[in-house]
Structure formats: structure tokens, C-alpha cells
A and B are shown apart, each in its own frame.
Chain A
């Protein structure tokens, strides 16, 4: 027994050097996740550009950014929700409802400043989001079920309100439509600027604020979060309200971008949003993932939509391509986590 006793200083030295390398590996693998999406995105752009150089013309880049902006904003909100191990499926209906409401508002008051329309849309969105949050927090039913219910309810409110009528772009104030299409500073469309600001603010919040970190904690282990005194109910409620507000913002921007609005606007958008987040590395069971990863995922999805026709890929194959991408993303996540786990495990056996 005494012969096999471990010499303490030596063991300490060994322990100290190895974990820091595993920690570095862990951080590296996490960054790799977002870099992977970026690499696929750049590759797709490069191949499409090589096939048809007009793909990167000023006009088509602007169209791409305009299309991506709305999805990016929704993906940011959805990421906040998914990180807490919840999901909000009602965002598609919410975008439709708020977009139609914005159209109605501007028909009524054509002179209203754009900022008023945006604030009104976000406020209404926050209200519906808060309704989701309250139901999730109170009913103790999975958010998947609750928001599946509100998906249909919000959509039917939209239908009742529109009652078959359609708002035409021609009737909308020109200034508003111009805002939805024109370029702002540095030639980048205003919508893209707004999306960029949303991503930046959300990234900063999720990384550097206590309540932002608590969202990860809640999703990582809900029971542990409760035992550490994190106000989980309040946080989850807040996240749904913020997501609602962002869906409202997206609804207003949708109205500005397209102008022509009816009760079917945003149908099925929620699945595209969840897909963007998953492709961007947000774990569907919460606890990990970044806002900018989800934003990259949204950008990738939009780019696929406009790149595949250029590559003369049959529209028939587009959805299959997106599906394959989702499976590849999940497979990649799995591979990373298995590799990480193996590294961590091999360390542990050394210690004992």
C-alpha cells in the first residue's frame, strides 16, 4: 500500500497542466460551431458567384439582406426562448397579425412617423408574447403545446380582423415603403441595420449581464436553477415578452418591405425561425448556443433561398436541401459534444 502511494506534488502538477488544455479545447470547439456555419455560408456564396457573377451585384446583395433581416430578428428572439429550454411557435402568426395591424394603422394615419409604427408594433408584440409567457409560467405545460395553441389563436384573430380583405402596397404611405426598401448608411438597407443592432444588443446582453447568463442556467438545468435561487418564472416570462416584441418588430418591417398584406402573412415562418436557430448551433434542449450563431443560420437559410435558383437547382429540391442542412447541423453538434465528452472523460480517469 505504502509503495503505491501517490506523490502529491507530482499529481498536482499533472492535474494543473491538463485541465487548462481541455478548457481551451472546449472553448475552441464552441467557437468552431459558429465558424462552421460561416464557412458553409461563404462556400455557398463563392460557388454561386462562380456560377453567376451577378449574384453579388449590388441589387441582389441588397435583396438578400432585406430578406434576411426579418428572419434574423426572429431568430434572435427565438434563441432567447430556446436557450431557456422553451420554444415559441406562435411567432409566424404574430408577424402576420402585427404586419396587418401596421398596415391598418398606416391606412388610418398615413402621416404617422415610422418610429411610432415600430413602437406600436413592438408593444403589441410584447403583449402577445407576454400572454404566451404567462401561460407557460402558470399552466406548467410545455411551451411547445401552449404556443402551438396561440399559433392558431393569433392566426384566427388575424383572419377575423382582415375578414378576407387585402391591404395593397399602393395604398400605403410612400415614405414607409421607402424605408422598407432603401439603403441607409454605407449603402446597407435600414432593415439590415436594425437586424444588426438587434443581434449586437442581444449578444452583449446574453454574454455580459447576470440575467442573460441566468437564461443559459435555466435551460442547462431547470432544477439546479431553482435551487440556486434564480427567478426562473420571471426570466422565462420576460424572454417570451421580448421575443414577442421582436416578432412585432419583424411584423412592422415585413409591412414596410412588402406593403401588400393579407391574413396569410408569415404562415409557416415559425418553423423556418426554429430551423435557423438549430442550424446556427442553438441546442434545442436549451443551455447553449449564441444569438449570432442563430443570426448566421438565418442568413444561411435566406442565402440558400436565393442561391439555389441561380445554381439552377429545381425548387423541388430546396426544402430537401434545407432539411439535409438541419440534419447535418445536428450531426455536427453531436460529433462535437461526443469529442468534448471523450476529452473530459479521459482526463477524469487520470485524476483518480
Chain B
């Protein structure tokens, strides 16, 4: 799907970034990034999680200021001191989760701060709604300007954001993972709008990790890795595999040291699990020594299932069995006793007590087992914490340091330590490597693989496709609260998983 060439050679770029740097505390989010956007082109920005895409978007949105480097628009230097500046410069940003005001009408959301005015600077409501309707006509959208933004689907919210961009004649449209929560039809509609905007002379920066979409929509692709610029090429000159290798910077297989493990009997069985409005008809089993990935798009209901199994949340129907014995619903204590462990998605809020020390956190789950007559001795506590933090190679100055002082990766390892200390038979991990650096990621993967080798049944919820494909013996895919696919390791690839995850195909198990 290559678009006709608008002849960018010879014309000057609309927007350029040169050698842009940005540091947050100890983290170097951007290390000299170059980017040039031409009018009429859709330009893809790709990279792993943590590669610096979001930081770059925030800089262009005026939400962050670069520490170093130059930006220019139309050849003139550009300095953005706030989101209002970006808007005035004609830059519009559409975030993955659109930022609308739920209580206000769609038209007001579009014109907030720029409402058409009448005499005495009063807002001209009629003109505002008329202009809003005109914008929707141009986009071919049928939304009512009067309705409140609350309750709009993500796709419609994005269209409202695009209408907002049109309303101030934005020439540069930045879309941060716009398709992550969209269905196939909605993606097509969005792409049609983007193409018509490009034809009208706008430049679109399309941030995505869905390579098929990148290749379908974009003319050029820039790859970032660990905050640094890697390459910018026409998509026609590249294959998706090449792009992935540039994103990762190494062969994919090396990252996921999945060992073969002897797979035994089912340990965890889930039968017809359902909770109204969240998920339904969820049935699967995980056998000892097996790593089963639960894949799907954000909001498909994967974490909800994991939390229901462990008993953090209730469920309406169905049952959970561990070693053939039924687990009582809604009781995490019972789940722990039966040999379950859950490493939650948001470690800051659900996994760790940030103010407590590393050793206290590591011992939280089994403090009763360590104590004698309810008395916890300092020495046993420390010895136990040492054992696990050493095994996981948690990097901390001392085990008495508060967890909040650790890096994201080491925090995640501390959460793992806390649960591994209970010696679980079933380990449920939710997004185990989100927001941690590449090196620690590999260690977490090695660890999960080792655990499986020792006969632990692992259920891994993950949004990172390479991780799912690299680690899992079996991939379960969810879409809008239902299991839409069960794919064996040998048959699982990006395409089959993505198909099931977008609900485009009911894969037979």
C-alpha cells in the first residue's frame, strides 16, 4: 500500500528535530534524537517500550522541554514552553487514551479556550456547534456536537481529537499508539482520515508498535532504541523483520532464553469463569512446567481474569481448581495457601509497600512462616530476604533501603522475590517486564523459565508480543472479555496472535 509520491525531494522539511536530549533524574530518556517531518507524509516512529517514543511525543506536545538540541518549524527555530504554544504552532497530539472532558459536550471539547465569540466576548454557541458539525462532515463522522464526551468509544474520542486538530488547522498531527484499543473497522476508518489529511498537506507522526499498520500507512519509519536514534528509512526499503531487529538491536531469540521443561499434569484449571461486564466463558488449564501466556490488547480483560483467579476480585460464575480442588472465590489468602502467587501489573500500587525496606517487602508474604509464636526475629528475616534477593540479583545498596529508592527493574525483582518465597505451584505474572530495562528483562525471563523448569505452572499476562511468542508454550488470546484463541508454541506468530486479539477471527483451539 505505497502511496503516490508527493515529491518530498527538494522540498524543505516542515518540522525538524536535531540532537534532542532529555534526562529525567538518572534516566536518559532521549540521547540525541533526529527527526524530520515533511508535509504530506505519514511518518512512523517505532521502538520498544522505554525507547523514548513517549518522551519525544511529550516534547513535541510542549509538555516537556528538551534539555538540549534544536527544533525548527518551517526553518524557523521553535521553542515550546507549554501545550498552548504547541497548539499555536499548529502541532496537535492525539494520545493513546484521548484526553477529553467527560462532562462537557463534544463541541466544547473541540473548541475549549477557542470558542467562537459574539459581542462582549460571549461564546457563540450556535456558531460553535455549526463549525463542529462542519468538521465532522469533513471527516465523514456522524457524531452529535451536543452530546457529552462521556461514554464515547475510544475510536470516537480519537475522532473528536482529530476534529480538534482540524479546527485549529494543525499541520502536524502526532498520534501516540492510536490503534491500540481499536477494532479492525475503526482502524480502517482512522487510516482513511489520516490519508486524507496527508493529501491535504499535513504531516502525521504515527507512533505504533504494530508493524503491519506502520507498513500499510507510513511512507518512512524512524527507529528509536534506548533513547537514541537508530535509523530513518522509506518503509518500501525495509521488511518488518529488519525493523524489529533495529528496535531490539539483537537477534530476537537471544532475548528469550526459554528452556525446555517437562510438562506434567494440569495444576491450575479455570472453568467457565465469568464476571458481568468484564469477561465471560473463560476456560483453560495450566500444567506444571508450562508457561502459558495470556495475550490480547489493552482492556481485553486479561488482568481482570488474573485477579479473579487469585481472588482479589470476585467472579459471578464458574470455578477455579488447583490440583483438582476447588478454590473458594474472592479469598487471596486461600489462593496463597493452595500454592498460587500473583505478581500484579502495577507494582507501585499493588505489589510493593514503597516506604518499607527491601527485606520487609520480600518477607511480606511469608512473615508468618518465618515467625515463631508470632515473633519475627530480625536475623531470620534478614537471612530469608538475602536468600531471595541474592538469587534474583536484586541490586540494592543494603536490604534495609526503602524499595522506593530502587530502579523499576529491581523493584520488579523484589516483587518476584516476595512471591517466590512462598514457593508457589502456580505463578501468575501480570506484565512482568513492563517499564524495566532490557537487561533486567532478560533476567526476569530467565527466572520465569527456570521456575517452569522446576515444575511451576506459570500464567503470564503480557502485552509484548515478542515476549509472548518467545516465552510461552501456549498462547491464550483474549478479545473484549472472551478467549478468542488458543495457539500452540509451534503455530504462534505475530499474525495469528494479533488476529485473535483484534477479534477478526475466531481461532479454533
A: residues with CB less than 8 A from B are 12, 15-16, 19-20, 22-24, 26-27, 207-210, 213-214, 216-217, 219-221, 223-230, 283, 287-288, 340-341, 344-345, 347-348, 351-352
Contact = CB atoms under 8 A, between A and B. Distances in A.
A223 B112 contact: no
A226 B150 contact: no
A241 B115 CA distance: 25
Q: Nearest 9 CB-CB pairs, A to B?
A: A344-B151, A229-B84, A224-B99, A23-B147, A287-B103, A220-B101, A23-B146, A19-B144, A220-B103
A51 B152 CA distance: 50
Interface string B99-117: 1111111001000111101
A208 B128 CA distance: 12
Given A228-B83, A228-B112, A344 B123 contact: no
Interface in B182-208: 183, 185-186
10 contacts: A213-B115, A221-B101, A224-B99, A227-B63, A228-B99, A229-B86, A341-B151, A344-B150, A348-B152, A352-B185
B121 interface: yes
B278 to A, nearest CB: 14
Nearest to A16: B142
Given A209-B121, A209-B122, A227-B63, A217 B104 contact: yes
Which bracket fits the contact residues of B?
Answer: 35 or more
A79 to B, nearest CB: 14
Contacts of A227: 61, 63, 83, 93, 95, 99
Contacts of B147: 19-20, 22-23, 26, 344
A229 B101 contact: no
Contacts of B183: 352
B186 A352 contact: yes
B470 interface: no
B83 A22 contact: no
B380 interface: no
B75 interface: no
A207 B85 CA distance: 26
A72 B204 CA distance: 51
Given A19-B143, A210-B123, A229-B87, 5 more contacts: A213-B123, A216-B101, A217-B112, A220-B102, A347-B151
Nearest to A289: B103
A29 to B, nearest CB: 10
Contacts of A288: 103
Nearest to B121: A209
Contacts of A226: 83
Contact of A230 (B105, B112, B117): B112
B262 interface: no
Contact of A221 (B84, B99, B114, B123): B99
A244 B75 CA distance: 49
A348 B143 CA distance: 11
B153 interface: yes
Contacts of B62: 229
B440 to A, nearest CB: 29
Interface string B159-191: 000000000000000000000000101100000
B58 to A, nearest CB: 10
B13 interface: no
A287 B105 CA distance: 12
A221 B151 contact: no
B115 A20 contact: no
Contacts of A230: 112-113
B285 to A, nearest CB: 32
Nearest to B100: A224
Contacts of A16: 142
Contacts, number: 111
B435 interface: no
A352 B400 CA distance: 53
Nearest to A337: B150
A352 B480 CA distance: 12
Nearest to B105: A23
B159 to A, nearest CB: 11
Given A341-B151, A344-B150, A213 B144 contact: no
Contacts of A210: 113-115, 117, 121, 123
A283 B150 CA distance: 15
B82 interface: yes
A230 to B, nearest CB: 6
Contacts of A341: 150-151
A12 B142 contact: yes
Contacts of A283: 103
A225 B87 CA distance: 13
B474 to A, nearest CB: 28
Contacts of A20: 144, 146-147
A352 B89 CA distance: 35
Residue in A12, A20, A210, A225 with the greatest tally of chain B CB atoms within 10 Å: A210
A199 B217 CA distance: 53
A229 B122 contact: no
B87 A216 contact: no
Contacts of B148: 23, 26, 340
Contacts of B100: 221, 224
Interface string B47-61: 000000000000001
A19 B142 contact: yes
Interface string B67-103: 0000000000000001111110000010100011111
Contact of A351 (B84, B95, B108, B153): B153
A213 B114 CA distance: 11
A178 B61 CA distance: 59
A348 B83 contact: no
Nearest to B503: A352
Nearest to A17: B142
Given A20-B144, A220-B101, A228 B113 contact: yes
A208 B104 contact: no
Contact of B104 (A220, A340, A345): A220
A289 to B, nearest CB: 9
Contact of B101 (A15, A19, A225): A225
A348 B151 contact: yes
A230 B101 CA distance: 12
Contacts of B144: 19-20, 22-23
Interface in B328-369: none
A214 B103 CA distance: 12
Nearest to A228: B112
Nearest to B61: A227
A333 to B, nearest CB: 12
A15 B142 contact: yes
A229 B114 CA distance: 11
Contacts of A208: 122-123
Nearest to A349: B153
A219 B108 CA distance: 14
A303 B113 CA distance: 39
Nearest to A343: B151
A280 B414 CA distance: 50
A220 B117 CA distance: 23
A26 B103 CA distance: 11
